[in-house]
Structure 1
């Protein structure tokens, strides 16, 4: 792990540790917890842990369970206190934190049941005040918390201490912020099913812990992490209170740390060792900061914003400007499959072979057209053999009334099919009695998957992709019927390996969107990478001549400094792209999992593509209607 110079950290008010990925970071946290437990055991004392829920600490718990199963760690001397619980919430509900902790940790270790404390979401309203006071008293009676584990919400909440919480707040019942409920909506299959209240440890309770470890993974957390670490202390961002704690670590992966000054604009913190990538990043940042085209930047501009040593190394602003301008110019191409019979030395893609076999991996059945629909259309129009691999069924993102609508159609078409009638009757009865947040039956999951498959085929037909070139992988990791998925398996990788080896594509497009709030994109990308590595290990010939391009999903775009191919989209193709998105009717108007953006997916895609084109234009490039950006993955 890289150890930064003290000067690089001058904007940071909390000790921050950055790891290469969340797996390595989780292992480091698990090792620290295990060391505490073992140390306390040797001293004949109890280790008191404050625990969190959500996706962030899951890998930490996995490692702790692994340590226990290997005989390296016992939890006999451990007492735990969880941060929070929804209210009201029955402990056996699939949404309860009691169930979460049992499934991820307690059922797999030797902790004494009476040493486990999780706020009770099933008590009556008139019991809550006394219950919360007793929870605080129990923490004090065991000597306080040794290590408190935290995640961080997009509002900056820690536990369920929403904006407005005070530094001395204690365990209490609180009303959840709308953004917090939106973030939880996917777990509950709709915002309307998310409880409006929760019981949470207070900021004061958290601050009384002897050690605090806050973990954050992914770019989606980078902005709030930056505010918490570098910003002013304020009640509107409760995580900033952690700046008062004298033993608090923020443990981050590279993506969550990406907005910190030492990562995003290191030249403002210290003198830099300039390479081509950093020069490009800094020049684009300066251009946008000053609102000046790249070729108009002066020596004085660079000097004023901490880049005087760059000017000293290179010689002049003009040389830097021209270098970066040319780099950007060479990323722009209207030929994403390569331009035949043309000099390709300054182009992102090779001219030959032509036509190419292009394979687009789409994590959900609509990510292809949402994220790179313009490029897909261009590839088809230019004669390439385009295939689309839909990695998951996307069945959990279909509303129940969509199923009923399709079943009504099916029953009218096949009036004499008694077997179908019986199956539809069973599905209707299930849906009529389905409780909020309840998992769908296998039959309902099947129908929802078929709805999304039909929409994907409709979009393929519209875009000119032959139906036989649409591959529905239905990767096993996804098929749980719940938002929480299984870990990726050898079967997932083998299915992907087999498809790749069958098609032998010259270029692959995959979703590199690690900001996906539900993790599906992340897992789908890992599966592709593992399959590619396996092909490489097996010395498969065609893989040496294959380019892999990563696009972004519905949540975020690549930074222009990272883009290695930018495909312009004209007004006509933008309209065609939107029409292709409209083919996914079950996701139109109101998507099941909209994330933190209320706009429809087509609106997000259109605006994002137009913003990218506008940014290129303001940097001094040609003016286009819209653009889709890609980063090349070198394996």
Structure 2
């Protein structure tokens, strides 16, 4: 049940689902009901649609409902929010192409009922085009339901900061952050158009119903500002608070900064103070807020900061402090694979068996050393049988000149050793000619993709060799979902899951590490993790015996770190171990100096990783625990059965 305090904190009706899959299916059902209702009334249903990675699963579900359940879209008129300008409709980054590939080509919607801003209109005609776009919406009877995403600047559509509540469809200059976020789609920020045509905030607010979707940790901060902040044109999404029928739909990750999720005791939410995780979250928050070690917190400070309920149920602050301090203390271990012949009662990882067969899944060819390189080195040093599975080739993240350099090497090698045939020279000429004529954002040829994949593979082998992982223990899965040559990937498929199951069955590890770093803006980590989870669930359903002796640990670090109240295993690194980790990362030379897809953080990955590892260590120190140079953090996944399809945490 929601409290009055929660309602005061949240100014927009907000529903939180366990994940984006459940959320997307629920919204698709809502849209389907509206379409059917309008059809039964003999009326057209007018939908406002968004693009980007957020609504893709929603569109896939609408396509499924059409193809498998007969949902017809013949009575649907659609209006898309925006389009880059200038932009040809057949370009890879075109929203016209996006909508066709994800939705329209798979439905029975009439082509004349599809409306998308035209990125080819001559500039002198843009104003008139925008006026006519508004007129077309009115002639259709207005938008019944508008689907929105939200950008990190708080933009809806392409209404950047400064867009007023009454703004209409227009040409707008894109914010630098928006262009940075779009850089991966265009293979470099320099290729991102500087302008776009977008519906205005005022246009959006005229829709009869609005559903805004947001997924992932990367959206959590701006979601909080939208839902709980004051309306302001510096965060245009806050103007949705003026609309009478808005629904904000989030996954758990995107909801992380909301008051009712992050600090529910501040909004009077009923809490189970017998739950150790809730208590730990509250106490670590209080210590960090007051900048005090846990053992120095007082009864008065608990009472004055919204934690009187915890104090009333659990007794003196002194007792609570010691209990939480010991919980954190027990997360710290220098033996990530378990310490042999030791009492493991209070250790995060069991002592036996020792040594363990360890399988580290790495979504890209460098995530293993970036996110848990120190732990990987420790596992090898302590005698475990360490395997690394590189789930994707990572080929799109290699600069073109690197591919030419390696093609030149092959050609020069061929010439130097005077081989009878010259296939390498032919390969070099084809690669060089293609890259010389390549347009920004163009998909690489098959030869170039293979070369770039081999570059990443060679670097991964070099990092494994440096870390002491035997060559036969490096496994390259090349999951098919990734191999499109484009930033936009295919959905996870049966082949991806089968390859993962086969490797697991072959190795039968006692310990698995996987990337839980879901802030990856390109979504690769999310899909790779889903493949692992689904593979393990199927093995569990088949009552696979070795799983009972296996533990799964999730790491982060490339994009974001676990919150300290979540950490279940903290592996401290000395200055020397941190330096070794850095050298392992440096083996990935194609990602050195400037990665092709840096995301919002322009620093190199080794700099990000070291900063996050040092920050985690500082937090432990500030809470009164031992001081370390750096710490890598992990959370255990406990093979929980997925909740029922309708399960969610919602606010009516």
Q: TM-score range by the shorter chain?
A: over 0.9
Q: How many residues align?
A: 633
Aligned to 1:149, what secondary structure does the other structure show?
strand
Structure-2 separation of matches of 1:26 and 1:608: 32
- TM alignment of 1:239-388, pairs within 5 A: 239-270=237-268, 271-274=270-273, 275-388=275-388
What is the aligned counterpart of 1:214 among 212, 215, 218? Answer: 212
Residue in 2 that maps onto 1:470:
474
Residue in 2 that maps onto 1:530:
534
Partner deviation per Cα, 1:388-425 (whole Å, 9 max, x = no partner): 11111000000000011112222121113411111111
Residue in 1 that maps onto 2:82:
84
Partner deviation per Cα, 1:97-142 (whole Å, 9 max, x = no partner): 1111111111111111111110000011100011111111111122
Structure-1 separation of matches of 2:22 and 2:545: 33
- TM alignment of 1:474-623, pairs within 5 A: 474-623=478-627
Residue in 1 that maps onto 2:630:
626
Partner deviation per Cα, 1:528-547 (whole Å, 9 max, x = no partner): 11111222222222111011
- TM alignment of 1:155-194, pairs within 5 A: 155-194=153-192
Aligned to 1:61, what secondary structure does the other structure show?
helix
> Contact 2:407–2:431 at 8 Å: present in 1 too?
no
- TM alignment of 1:396-435, pairs within 5 A: 396-415=396-415, 416=418, 417-435=421-439
Q: Report the TM-score when normalising by structure 2.
A: 0.96
RMSD (Å) for aligned C-alpha atoms: 1.0
Shift of 1:71: 4.2
> Contact 1:512–1:553 at 8 Å: present in 2 too?
no
What is the aligned counterpart of 1:4 among 2, 5, 8? Answer: 2
Partner deviation per Cα, 1:508-567 (whole Å, 9 max, x = no partner): 110011111111111111111111122222222211101110001411000110100000
Aligned to 1:539, what secondary structure does the other structure show?
coil
What is the aligned counterpart of 2:20 among 2, 19, 22? Answer: 22
Structure-2 separation of matches of 1:485 and 1:579: 31
Residue in 1 that maps onto 2:231:
233
Aligned to 2:46, what secondary structure does the other structure show?
strand
The list of structure 1 runs, each at least 4 consecutive aligned residues, that deviate by more than 3 angstroms after superposition, is 3-7
What is the aligned counterpart of 1:114 among 112, 115, 129? Answer: 112
Structure-2 separation of matches of 1:9 and 1:581: 47
> Contact 2:407–2:427 at 8 Å: present in 1 too?
no
What is the aligned counterpart of 1:440 among 441, 444, 449? Answer: 444
Shift of 1:7: 3.6
What is the aligned counterpart of 1:201 among 199, 202, 217? Answer: 199
Structure-1 separation of matches of 2:557 and 2:614: 15
Partner deviation per Cα, 1:192-225 (whole Å, 9 max, x = no partner): 1111100000001001111111000111111100
Structure-2 separation of matches of 1:562 and 1:482: 34
Partner deviation per Cα, 1:568-599 (whole Å, 9 max, x = no partner): 00000000000100000000011011010010
Structure-1 separation of matches of 2:169 and 2:323: 57
> Contact 1:516–1:553 at 8 Å: present in 2 too?
no
Shift of 1:317: 0.3
> Contact 1:395–1:446 at 8 Å: present in 2 too?
yes
Any gaps of 5 or more consecutive residues in structure 1? none
Aligned to 2:184, what secondary structure does the other structure show?
coil
Structure-2 separation of matches of 1:164 and 1:404: 44
Which deviates more from structure 2 when the two are superposed, residues 400-409 or residues 283-292?
A: 400-409
Partner deviation per Cα, 1:60-84 (whole Å, 9 max, x = no partner): 1111111111343211111111000
> Contact 1:26–1:57 at 8 Å: present in 2 too?
yes
Q: Report the TM-score when normalising by structure 1.
A: 0.98
Shift of 1:6: 4.2
